[in-house]
């Protein structure tokens, strides 16, 4: 995953990372957390009636230079460019969201990073209870505490890996995936679906989420949720308040 206009120095400045991460597990953790805390998950383009561009140069321009965010293909795409620039080996993986009441196609994208014999699940673009740091596939079945949130990676009967999050005391499936790599072009159809189909959640409502060390802030439809451990604060957002909320909480503005 490369773009002609990608600059590692500009990307690191965008995610507020002052030192060059090492090409090891700690460097991977630093890189992922820095991006999660700096680049929001957001679907403002879809809500503006646009089809999200998967042209790599467009993604860099949007996220690095226009200070925007994006949904999974965009934010994980630019993360993949940084991984390549730093010398990490990775593959793009299709993942199946599992929090819907019915079976969905593999419309989510994650990354699997290889460090020696260990493989690390990375994801900077899940708008629900997304990871807050990489998870090693060697940690299968372990209870993993990341900040104030708890995750577990298990395998189902089909041999797929399933990411679970502890939500209000109950384990909730987030997504599942196998180890088969996909090409960038393979995500063009799910991207078109997520940008245009009336049943796609991104078409139905605003979804904007920013992680921070104390938790996460989420705009879902007309509700703003500030989640920090067990202390969730939820307020309704009126249409005339939207622009102020986007700027104040996510440093975003709607574009024409």
CATH number of the domain bearing residue 166: 3.30.2140.20
Residue 218 located in a structural domain: yes
State how far the Cα of 244 lies from the Cα of 196, in Å rounded to an integer: 26
Tell me what the pLDDT averaged over the chain comes to: 94
Dihedral over Cα of 112, 215, 169, 245: its sign = negative
State how far the Cα of 102 lies from the Cα of 54, in Å rounded to an integer: 27
Q: Taking 90 as the threshold, does the pLDDT of residue 48 lie above it?
A: yes
Residue 37 located in a structural domain: yes
φ, ψ of residue 217 to 5 degrees: the values are -115, 130
The domain tally of the chain equals: 1
Residue 1 located in a structural domain: no
Which residue range is the domain that position 136 belongs to? 8-250
State how far the Cα of 17 lies from the Cα of 36, in Å rounded to an integer: 12
Contact 206, 139 (CB under 8 A): no
Residue 108 located in a structural domain: yes
Q: Taking 70 as the threshold, does the pLDDT of residue 256 lie above it?
A: no
State how far the Cα of 228 lies from the Cα of 232, in Å rounded to an integer: 6
Average pLDDT of the segment spanning 238-254: 96
Residue 140 located in a structural domain: yes
**Per-residue model confidence (pLDDT) at position 12:** 98
- Reported as a single tens digit per residue, the pLDDT across 132-148 is 999 999 999 999 999 98
State how far the Cα of 123 lies from the Cα of 36, in Å rounded to an integer: 9
Average pLDDT of the segment spanning 8-36: 97
Residue 123 located in a structural domain: yes
What single-letter DSSP state applies at residue 19?
A: S
Q: Which segments of 48-204 does DSSP mark as H helices, in order? A: 56-60, 72-86, 188-196, 201-204
For residue 117, name the pLDDT band (cuts at 50, 70, 90): very high
For residue 230, name the pLDDT band (cuts at 50, 70, 90): low
Residue 34 located in a structural domain: yes
């Amino acid at each position: 995953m490369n773009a002609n206009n990608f600059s590692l120095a500009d990307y690191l400045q965008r995610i507020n990372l002052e030192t060059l991460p090492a090409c090891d597990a700690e460097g991977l953790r630093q890189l992922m957390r820095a991006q999660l805390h700096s680049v929001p998950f957001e679907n403002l383009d879809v809500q503006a009636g646009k089809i999200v561009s998967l042209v790599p140069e467009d993604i860099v321009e949007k996220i690095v230079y226009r200070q925007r965010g994006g949904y999974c293909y965009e934010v994980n795409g630019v993360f993949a460019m940084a991984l390549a620039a730093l010398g990490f080996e990775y593959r793009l993986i299709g993942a199946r969201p599992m929090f819907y009441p019915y079976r969905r196609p593999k419309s989510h994208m994650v990354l699997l990073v290889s460090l020696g014999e260990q493989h690390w699940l990375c994801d900077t673009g899940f708008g629900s209870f997304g990871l807050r740091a990489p998870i090693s596939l060697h940690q299968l079945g372990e209870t993993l505490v990341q900040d104030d949130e708890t995750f577990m990676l298990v395998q189902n009967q089909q041999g797929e890996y399933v990411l679970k999050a502890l939500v209000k005391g109950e384990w909730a499936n987030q997504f599942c995936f196998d180890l088969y790599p996909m090409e960038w072009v393979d995500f063009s159809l799910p991207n078109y679906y997520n940008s245009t189909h009336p049943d796609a959640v991104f078409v139905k409502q605003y979804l904007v989420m920013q992680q921070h060390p104390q938790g996460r802030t989420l705009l879902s439809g007309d509700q703003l949720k500030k989640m920090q451990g067990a202390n969730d604060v939820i307020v309704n957002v009126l249409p005339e308040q939207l622009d102020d909320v986007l700027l104040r909480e996510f440093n975003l503005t709607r574009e024409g």
